[in-house]
């Protein structure tokens, strides 16, 4: 679908203009109406679709987006991958900026670039890569036991986030959901954004926990592609838990003490608190702490504690700027 839209936007013409074949004519051996050169490009994109999807998600996260890449993020991608050549007359950084603007104009979106990948490649990428974490950490008996034991608290946290600064929010099929803005703003409000869990990593947790939709361009598909229902929210919490700096088992008599332990450290020994966050943080993509079920339970307990504290203090709920 995205591949078809891309061709409709003029990709066929671009490919044919840059074809390095010996024949100036258009070859179509299978007679399907699509030039063989275009099909070859499609096959290459399909072959590397997993990598392309990961690069796209990472670039989109720099723009604080789920499905769009801004010009600054695209430029950073070009620099990080050393795609430009300062000595070249045709491949300098400015040429990539022009390339972005041209693609942007074709897409009719200001300073945005749609992911020009086939929907099947997105489906395979999400299901394969996201499932690695799900299979190894979420869908384990020990993790499921924690989620079941803490379901009541999880629902309280979910309800808090689902209405965080979103008065009058549209509800789809009467199913409560969390938007990206609600997720990021509520995590910041609950003291979860910091040296251990960055805002970008929080966005990644949200992005990789979304369901796969057949066509994200329809109203229904776009809605489902940009929100988390309760099940997706639980997975996002699992991903946050894999990064969150928390007290060890030896420092607690029980997970229930986690909230008070963290608050006391933050309010009475701020320097030690900051050092703990930096020293115990787990980098995105690295294996979570060895005792992951304990970390997961403490994450849920801490979120619930912060929600209760927020309700007691009735702190103003301020959404992050877009």
Chain centre distance of CA 185 = 15
Nearest to 258 by CA among 301, 196, 294, 307: 301
pLDDT at 168: 47
pLDDT at 95: 73
Q: What is the helix (H) or strand (E) element at residue 113, kind and residue range?
A: strand 112-114
Rounded Cα distance, 114 and 130, in Å: 21
pTM of the predicted model, to two decimals?
0.67
Q: What is the helix (H) or strand (E) element at residue 131, kind and residue range?
A: helix 131-133
Cβ atoms within 10 A of the Cβ of 164, count?
Answer: 24
Burial class (CB in 10 A: 0-12, 13-18, 19+), 171: exposed
Rounded Cα distance, 296 and 240, in Å: 9
pLDDT at 26: 67
Cβ atoms within 10 A of the Cβ of 102, count?
Answer: 12
Spans of all domains in the chain: 3-125, 130-314
pLDDT at 240: 97
pLDDT in tens, 22-35: 555 567 666 666 77
Nearest to 223 by CA among 237, 213, 232: 213
């Amino acid at each position: 679908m995205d591949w078809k839209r891309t061709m409709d936007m003029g990709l066929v013409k671009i490919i044919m203009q840059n074809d390095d074949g010996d024949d100036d004519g258009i070859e179509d051996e299978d007679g399907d109406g699509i030039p063989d050169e275009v099909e070859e490009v499609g096959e290459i994109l399909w072959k590397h679709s997993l990598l392309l999807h990961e690069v796209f998600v990472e670039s989109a996260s720099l723009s604080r987006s789920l499905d769009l890449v801004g010009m600054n993020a695209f430029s950073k991608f070009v620099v990080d991958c050393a795609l430009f050549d300062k000595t070249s007359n045709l491949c300098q950084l400015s040429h990539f900026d022009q390339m972005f603007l041209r693609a942007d104009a074709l897409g009719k979106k200001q300073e945005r670039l749609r992911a020009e990948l086939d929907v099947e490649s997105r489906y395979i990428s999400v299901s394969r890569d996201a499932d690695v974490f799900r299979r190894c950490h979420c869908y384990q008996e020990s993790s499921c036991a924690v989620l079941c034991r803490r379901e009541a608290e999880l629902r309280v946290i979910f309800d808090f986030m689902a209405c965080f600064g979103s008065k009058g929010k549209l509800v789809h099929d009467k199913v409560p959901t969390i938007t990206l803005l609600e997720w990021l703003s509520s995590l910041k409000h609950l003291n979860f954004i910091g040296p251990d869990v960055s805002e970008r990593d929080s966005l990644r947790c949200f992005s990789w926990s979304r369901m796969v939709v057949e066509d994200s361009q329809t109203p229904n598909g776009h809605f489902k592609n940009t929100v988390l229902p309760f099940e997706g929210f639980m997975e996002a919490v699992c991903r946050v838990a894999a990064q969150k700096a928390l007290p060890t088992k030896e420092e607690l008599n029980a997970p229930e003490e986690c909230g008070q332990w963290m608050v006391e450290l933050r309010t009475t020994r701020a320097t030690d608190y900051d050092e703990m966050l930096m020293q115990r943080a787990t980098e995105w993509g690295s294996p979570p702490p060895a005792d992951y079920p304990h970390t997961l339970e403490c994450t849920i307990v801490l979120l619930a504690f912060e929600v209760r504290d927020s309700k007691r203090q009735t702190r103003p709920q301020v959404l992050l700027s877009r």
